[in-house]
Each structure stands twice: as C-alpha cells, then as structure tokens.
Amino acid sequence: MPELPEVQGLVDFLRGRLVDDAVAAVELASFTVLKTFDPPPQELHGAIVTDVARHGKWIDVDADGTHLVMHLARAGWIRWYDAVPATVARPGKGPIALRVRMASGAGFDLTEAGTKKSVAAYVVRDVSSVEAIATLGPDPLADDFDRDAFAALLSGRRMQIKGLLRDQSVLAGVGNAYSDEVLHVARLSPFAIAGSLSEDDVTRLYEALRSTLRDAAAAASGRPAAELKDAKRAGMRVHGRTGEACPECGDDVREVSFADRSLQYCATCQTGGTPLADRRTSKFLK
C-alpha cells in the first residue's frame, strides 16, 4: 500500500506536470471508483489545475476550486502519460479505474491491480466533505507536530504502538510498512503499549518517526511515478525482508503473520532477543 513518502512523491511528480494545465476530460473506467455525484466529473473539464496536495495518503488535485481527491488503497497507483492514449477509458476488466486527460495531451490513469476494488475517487468543492480526510489525525511531518504533540497522542492509550501508528485518525499517512521501519529504528516492540512508553521511548520513537518518513519522502521526491514502488522496496530495512539479516545487528529479520498482512521486526534490536509469538497461539510480548 502506498504510504506517506510514496504519496508525497506522486504529489510532487503530478504537481510539476499538472499545475497551469487544464483538465480536458475525466473518464471513468470503473463502476465503483467514483464515490460522489455532485459536482459531476464534468465540472473539472476546462478547469486549470492550481495545485496538487497530500492529505495523509490522499492525493488532492485542485482545479480552480474543484478537487479530484484519490485514495490508492492497497493496490492502486498512478500511471503517467506524456501523451495519453487516444482510446477512451471505458468500464471493463483492465486495471484502469479512472483516466484524466489534460489540454496539453498529457495525463494519467488511476489504476488498481487485482480483483478487490478499493481505490476511491471523489469530486468535491471542499476536501473536508470527504469524511476520511476530515477525520485524519495530524501529519507527522507537519512543522507544528513536535515531540510534545506526539506524546499527547500516546498518553493514556491502551493500544499497541504498531496499531496506533497505523491508525489514520490518530496519525495521518503511516501504514504497515513504515510502522515496521519506524519501530525498528526506535528499537521498540511492535506490541508495546503506547501509553506505557517511557519518556525516553517516546523521544526515540518521535525522532525515528520523523527521520524515517522525512528521509523516505526525500528519496521519493523527483522520481518518476513508475520508479517509486521499487525505490520503496529497496529502502526498507526490515519490512518485507523476513529471513534476511538485520542491517543493525545481523540477526535474522522475523515475521508475525495475520489474516491479511504481516509485520517484520528484529528480535535482537526490538524485543530483547525474544521472538514475538503468533497472536493465534499465545500472548504477544509487551
């Protein structure tokens, strides 16, 4: 799933190509992708793109005050064209969910791999009318998100820290992959209880959160959209690297599996050398 750094990379990429160009057409190729009906997509036609922004994991294309906002879900992506194919995107079995044509002839497809269709697009006049955006927690890279603000989010919460980092209503933009990375850098168990962390733990976690996301976003910025997925995988320390050597201590990277996802961690760096047990058979380490 694209997370804050990759979404920021896509936003930077699109901003540099869409701003000051006019939307020529929005073509729907999925019956389910568009979640709104007023205003209609046609309201974007002829509008000049003034900005492309990010809200957590959401992409926001602002065209003269009408916003096309998109969420890539687990398997969505942006496919850019310097010259959009002449064929009209129509509902079918392919990966294209939505196509945007620009007056310059350039444009992009919103695509989704697989059969589970979760990618979403909204056309709105006010992005806060999208409930999932209105209820987002603070952006961890915002200038005003300091250590005290982060500590306040953790205080009193009887929630495992891995889950808290992934909760978009608590913190916007972090998902399964970067929560693994942040916790490895912070040397914390994924199942430590947020409200029970020491002051030193909180400071270490805050610094790991900011530095990991900032560095990944910087690495993504300026890359073509087609390169961002591979760049993300190449930059992972533990996520997706089960059985490989931890880059810090050389121990094997371990995994805990769930029904729809898995997490990776280093026992030596994060849990005092004791492997985490599978939730289905025993209690987690704290």
Q: What is the DSSP string of 153-184?
A: HHTT--SBHHHHHH-TTTSSS--HHHHHHHHH
Residue 262 in tokens:
């898995």
Q: Is 3 a catalytic residue?
A: yes
Q: Is 99 a catalytic residue?
A: no
Q: Is 57 a catalytic residue?
A: yes
Active-site residue, selected from the candidate residues 2, 95, 140, 190: 2
Dist. CA 181–CA 43, nearest whole Å: 41
The b/e string for 239-263 (b: 16+ C-beta within 10 A; e otherwise) is bbbbeeebeeeeeebbbbeeeeeeb
Count CB atoms within 10 A of the CB of residue 279: 12
Dist. CA 25–CA 36, nearest whole Å: 17
Q: Is 2 a catalytic residue?
A: yes
Active-site residue, selected from the candidate residues 17, 54, 57, 241: 57
Active-site residue, selected from the candidate residues 261, 275, 279, 286: 261
Residues marked active site are found at 2-3, 57, 261
